[in-house]
Structure 1
Amino acid sequence: MKHSRSFSISSFLIIFFLLTFLRANAQLDLEWVNILERPVGPGGGSSVMAPIISLDDFGNVYSTGIFYDTLDFDPGIGVNHLVSPTSKSFFVQKYDPSGNLIWLRYFEHSQSSNVFISSFSTDVNGNSYVIGTFKDTITFNTVSGVDTLTKEWISFANGNNCFILKIDANGNTLWAKELRGGETTGSQCHLDNQGNLCIVGFFQGEIDFDPGSNNNILASTQIPNNNLNNWTRDIFALKLDANGNFIWAKTFGGSTAYPVLFNSSLDALNNLYIIGRYSDTIDFDPGPAVASLNSSHHDLFLLKLDDLGNFDWVKSSVLGSNSNVITATGITIDSDTNIVLSGSFVGTVDFDFGAGTQQLTSTGYSDGYILKLTPQGNFIWVKKLTDTGISLSLLDNSNNLYCAGMTGSGAPDLDPGTGIFTASQNAQYLLKLSSQGDFIWANISSEWAFNPNHLELDNDNNLYQSGTFKSIVDFDPTADVYLLESLDGLTPTRFYRKLSQKGIYGSVFQDFNQNCTLDSFEVGLERLLEIQPGNILVTSTLGGIWSVDSLAPGNYTITVDTSGGWSATCSSTQTFTVPSYDTLISVGGIGLIANNPCTDNHVTIDALSLRPGFSNQIIFVEACNNLLASDILDSAYVILEFDDRLTIESATMPLDTLGNNRYGVYIGRLAPSQCQTVVLFCHIDSTILLGESLCMKATLHPIHNCFLDTIPKPYPNNFSPCVTPYDLSHLEIGSTCNGTNISFKIKNTGSGNMSCWSPVNLYVDGQFISRDSVQLTAGDSMVYNYGADGRTWRMEVCQHPLHPGNSNPSTTIELCGPEANWTPDLVNLLPHDDGDSHVDITCVVVSGAYDPNDKMGFPLGIGANHEIDANEQIEYLIRFQNTGTDTAFTVVIRDTLSSELDVFSVRSGASSHNYHFRIYGERVLEWTFYDILLPDSLTNLEGSNGFVRFSVDQNPDLPIGTRIENTASIYFDFNLPIVTNTYFHTIGAPQINNSMGSDTIDVTACDSVLYNGVLYNSDGNYLQTIQNNGNDTLYLINVDILNNFSHIDTIICDSFEMNGQYYTTSGNYSSVYSNYWGCDSTVYLDLTVENTIDTSITQNGTILTANAIGYNYQWVDCDNNNNPILGATNRSFSPLANGNYAVIISNINCSEVSSCIPITTVNVSKIEASFDVNIYPNPVENILFIENANNRQIQYSLVNQLGEVLLMNNTPDKELIKIDIKGLSTGVYYLFIQSNRGILSKKVIKI
């Protein structure tokens, strides 16, 4: 039954959903599939081997292969049985473009074995050439009679002869030829642009390469001894004309080892390229000259011969070790005569066949590679497919590359770029890459018994596969199901499949030379594009490729988003026409150039949940140089700030402690669209109440001026405008609580005086209470004091309207005062000061648990309608949990963005797991968590959770009352989606002063004053709000305390002055000040005077130790302008490089710098043998052993990557030394061993 669609849908429901997911990115449709079936009944046992296909220019399909017994070759309802009279015969057949059989021919072999088809080609006129091997006799009925070929030998009779058969487009056998001699196999055949046939293969012994009446005998290397095994196997290239007449033959090989042939190809000028593997010495020049290469390993060779078979050049890989392995299964030549190689490799391989170095290291058991070289064999680029083998490859007319093969058993990734396309293990795949090697689409077939072994492409970019399959296989690459069963469910059965490509694709690239053409040295860009009509969004990959599966017939435009300082070199818009739904359309590329190269800093920080009293709670930080970037963010680092009640325990990257619960994380180099995730583990104070908010802040440095926008941000409408030029001021605000009072402090930390008054707004429980203003000189500050009543107080101040960026300083303090007045979760009602993407502030509400699979928007908004201001950025948090009964392998979140939001401003942020993000369709945001392996909540409650955050801007100036709604759908594997709650915001009118009135009270006292239940014992201006029917009456209390006490605890270097008295020695002192009202103020002084700091240093080998104890330490590099060394803040320091080093020793008041100490013994070349020591195991988990063979007195020290000395000990002359390191964190450490023979440095990996 051909084209059968009979199947039980219930039996294959799981397969259907699996293939639906795995094939989602493939732009393929099934046109037809044929299988060769056996008849039912006695005599029906049959099989077929080695199917090979080729195409003519009219889309007809030709195939050949070996069969035995009986087969039905008609794919339609008719029957066309062939019965093989021997155990093996071969056939040639022709299908029309629709898969209908046109003709069938078969050929008999006199023996039961030893017939093999090795290559097959068809010319533009439909003439087919079959290359194979035979033994004894084979008969061909040609148009001129019967051609019987009989095995002949020149030097021995143990090998197979090569036959060459030509059949015309009507199935007539025109002629048959043979190459007589020892052992000959024609592995590949090619047709040049003159219609000549070029055959490449291998041979042993003496061969007559002239299949006509003349002789052209060539011998493989090594002296014959009438024994096939005494001949090496050499490679030959043979050219015949269209009638099978000899033109030329060339051979090459080695005397002690023979080259292995992998593949070959012709370019448009009929030059021949041969790829293979060799070892020892091989002369690659088939002429009289010598072009020898030598390899002690099994390196690749790439040989180029001209159209006459003369040597042009040869290139070689350099493996460097027998543990490194490389094969080449594919070689194709593109329209620019560049050479594209593909294959697999293991270990570390240098893919630059010239003087340069371009190394790749496999991460899977075996990785695939695609290598592009110039016509001279020079390196252009190389790409890697992780844990994936490449068996077949070919190019289309646009130089797009198609690869096929099988994935490995590890973590296969079919995207050779920085993106990820996770594939099933041990599965067959089809992959399409651009001419730059960037991912376009992939199709995965998870059926284990599906084995395609040949791939062809016609002029309309239809793909053809042939191969074998067993059992029941779905041949449809789409979400549809097309099931066929093999002969008896077990026997391998031959198939042919035609796949058409559909969809629309194009590219966005950085047009360095501004010629509007994607050149080989230019790179793709990840950008957002919009197709009109339809408002259809697509995101190009990191390689710059965008695509959509299909569009309705019509005329369209696609426009790239050029925000971020980009300009199109020709046009940002391309037009295209879609004639039908199933058409494959390539749209012209869009070239962009950066107007002013700049970074796009973007950082997010978040925690899924925080629970009081628990450790190992996780905080996620993601630092990115986002896709709008046009420059590299170099030497990037993140400053992290945390609430004092949150203690950092460990992190996945080294942390520098900066004090006041602040930390620095060095990120390094971030290219555009590149991100780095840092995970921190923390402990939450058990005294925190459920519902309190713990705030954390992340800032990504360095911050370049070009990154900050310069759009003016005017003051509120009801406040006097500021029209002066930017005054270089910069306002910061902070808040403190002492239990009875709340203090807000605004400080101008900029370098300029404020030229305008700036509004200061006060909010209580989210309600606007009052407005003041400040105008501060540089370094000056203003303090506001209020009585602590337990509610949530917030103060914000405006920067100068022309201040760079979107800073809007604000601070919020909750639960200061009586708990009875406190309402939880009000800190996030209004936006934080993180309007610039290089800053992120997150306030996490402490909770015991949370509802799974929900969505929240920040700021939360005021009141039941969640009112926010127009033009305010919104951040969304989507949380998910696997509440099923088994592990989820893939989680997908889809969020269709509200039309009131600017989709071009979307920035995806921190998440609990790695994800692939794209924007597509009509405003659909999609996060795919491949291989997330999310346990179910019954098995692992904590591990079953996840989240993702993103930010988005509103469309400009939305009218008051606009409602912004958003809902997300969460897919766990193949289950129906879980739809979250709908979170909404409403554009509200600006808040007005929520006060019924105000009053001012002046109070003077010697000690303290009590007003309305609040005790004041220090000077200040305090505000109290008294609630009355939802409104507040605001009281300003001016408190002047005339008799007070204060305490000063200070450390100085020389002297301290108090009340006219100078103190130069340490001690406790006091002074009383009298005033007019008879109230005394007493100041108590606890003074410590430090006259000198010991700056001497003790050197022990490469370990430097400051002799001063109890200070702060910062080691510096004397050879680099005394620059501080990151992380070197301990008393002891062990440099990792030779140089001169000093230490800055300081406390809060004093600071001294030591002399520079030279270090010259780091990296001294001492091997373990000279020490007679053996260090094991490495990597190590608990105990590290040093085997001291000569019982020599040694000293050892263990140092981390920051240069901190963790362990140090002098050992007696012991033979075996044990070092317990089980308490150390996993990572890389350095073990230094010093004896009378010098210093040994050894890297140790703790697991």
Structure 2
Amino acid sequence: MKIFRCLSAFALSLLFVHTALLAQGWQRTYPDASGGLAFFREAKPTPDGGYIAVGSRNLPTGAIRNYLHLKKTDANGEPQWEYSYREGAVGHDEGIGVVVAPNGGYYALGASSADGWQFSILLLRLDEMGDTLWSKTYAYQDTLPTNLGGYEATEDGGFLLAGSVSKPDSTNGAYLLKIDAAGNKLWEQFYGWPGGNPYPVLEDIVQLDDGGYIATGQWDSYQIPRLVRFDALGDTLWTRPFQFSTGDELWAVRPAHGGGFIACGSATGFAGYNALVVRTDDMGNELWQKFYALNTKAVDLELTPDGGYVLAGSLDNYLWYPAVTSGFLLKIDGDGNELWQRDFSNQESGFNRLGSVELTPDGGFIVAGESRWNPFLAKTDGNGFAITNWLQGKAFRDETENCSYDAGEAGLEEWIVRVEGGGLIQYATTDAAGAYSILVDTGDYTLTLLPPNALWAACELSVNVSLPDFYDTTYVDFAVSTLADCPLMTVDVSTPLLRRCFDNTYTIQYCNEGTVTAENAAVEVELDPYLSLQSAELPYTSLGNNLYRFELGDVPFDTCARFHFTAYLDCDSTVLGQTHCVEAHIFPDTLCFDTITNMALIEVETLCNGDSIQFNLRNVGDSGMNNAAEYIVIEDDVMYMTTPFELGAGEAIQFSRPANGFTYRLEAPRLPDSNGNEYVSSTIEGCGFSPGGGFSTGFVNQFSLFPGDGFTDIECRENIGAYDPNDKQALPAGYDDEHFIKPGTDIEYHIRFQNTGTDTAFTVVVRDTLSEWLAPASVKPGAS
């Protein structure tokens, strides 16, 4: 997969704002005024129609200051009060759960430590305004370090607390503690194995109708999770291990619809990890298991009234560090089949996680987590939508030029619609029928159609709309006519990798972005001297000197197509890491009108002449340069020379350098008298040898290749040995350790992915979150 993006000189606020407008649903972040990091672990509905959330808050003070943190909101997520336990003290406390007390106020549950290593279980009793009524800590045998994994508010008004115990002799174990409503300890149970699992822990626990409990955890083997059944006093009735892959987790369990149990977690394999759900009978015997999208983790589970379930978790791009994540809700039916997925993304940072989901009295959900290291809450409807209004419409070719849609008028595919309003900018692309759809909140918006080039004009490029109500759909169509009847061909060439001594597959993608059919179109492909054409999906003609012509026939407007060819890369005359270039040029390669008249037009060239490198600059325009410009020569990654030049029409400059094995790049302004930022370049690698007998490699793709016009594309690749089948590469790579790239540079991203397993991968999704410095409107799929 090859994707083009433009590096922007400014940052955009994309798709996400700290505070959404009030609506049927909402999503909010709560940045810490002190600049600390925080997140929510869980949120619950409150009797007044609002919500209570608990999590952790870390202050940037140098010492360990991590606090259990609570926030109370109204029905719209507006804060009413917040509270940090032991704020100001040195220590490490974590908030794990919150319970609405039957007689008013709240219980907050978590873990507390003075040094961040030796923990005790923490229970707080608070009134309706968050003031502490009492607090208690618990440890196994009142002394041993004890951590909280999960909890259950029991029918008698007390709690069952589940977690783990660390002993000095390393005979660690899982732990259950039963307390009453006043926080008094009733009983405790320890489940340990001498010299066994170093991480025995219970993660989640639920009380059953018979007074007993079902729990998940790492029971007696690391990364082999279990369901564990206890009676009312914590005695073990049975355990059931599950091993789905090389590393598994079960984070949440619930009694299933119709009996038995259902648990969610993740399974880890070579290519990443997958969210999973396992369904069992009443004795924990597996009935079925289902895996979901790659690189997803499900951490919480809720039963829905329709007999299905909803999962909460995060989708991680594990190829990036720090991880790029998106929180998600996933709805499944009673058999585990996926019904829908809703993502909660912070596009400014690409970092969002969900920690819990809870059913709300209106049939929707309240979800809690973090967004860019800030606490995050979202209120959704029963279909998982936090925002409920749609902007829909289509972009079509207005053949009758009446600015309205008539039956049979063609939709325009892959056109971009921009929506601005509510403090954010969103983008959508049209489908094959020209249709687009964007989910927005209530408010006022401006919709703008972005034509791909200057050959098109819309009756209205921008339209203002207002959405004052919930669950509304507003339709905006864009009628587009032509300014000139012109084909406009583009071409892109790409290969996923290049290996010596192997056949390598190249893809040619071509498009007609013009307004009429391009007749008798063709692509000419020039191969690197060390590549030899082996086969192609289209007939071709050899023009000599490794140049081949592929006839495409007539290409209708607003149409793209592709074909593949294979080329063998020579073994004996190449070295590992050497760069090999393939150039593609498409015809027709002219416009109906000449955009470059009475101007200087510069072309550059580098040639290897045995013991020297020849550099050529030519003015092929129909006018001389009005002012002097500068060309530069780069030796490997060092600016070798910067020289002013001025050429009349048809004039040229030629100079040379010894062929010493360095990589040389010649770069000059393409239109020196224009106000644009357009350049041409030529790079040569492997001409001559250094005193040590080799030549430099790895510098060709540090800079843009600048093919010189819109009808040519150049693909330069370094040949490789062993390779990672799942990665992402960006070209140009940029120079220096920081990979510097000029603003306004087009960047080509190559995303490679492969199923290295032994079974079919279903519903493969490639998700990539844009940096804030990239212009979303410039994203364009390339050859793949």
- Ranked by relative contact order (alpha carbons within 8 Å, sequence separation 6 or more), the top structure is 2
Taking structure 1 as the reference length, the TM-score comes to: 0.32
Taking structure 2 as the reference length, the TM-score comes to: 0.49
The structure having more radius of gyration, on CA atoms, is 1
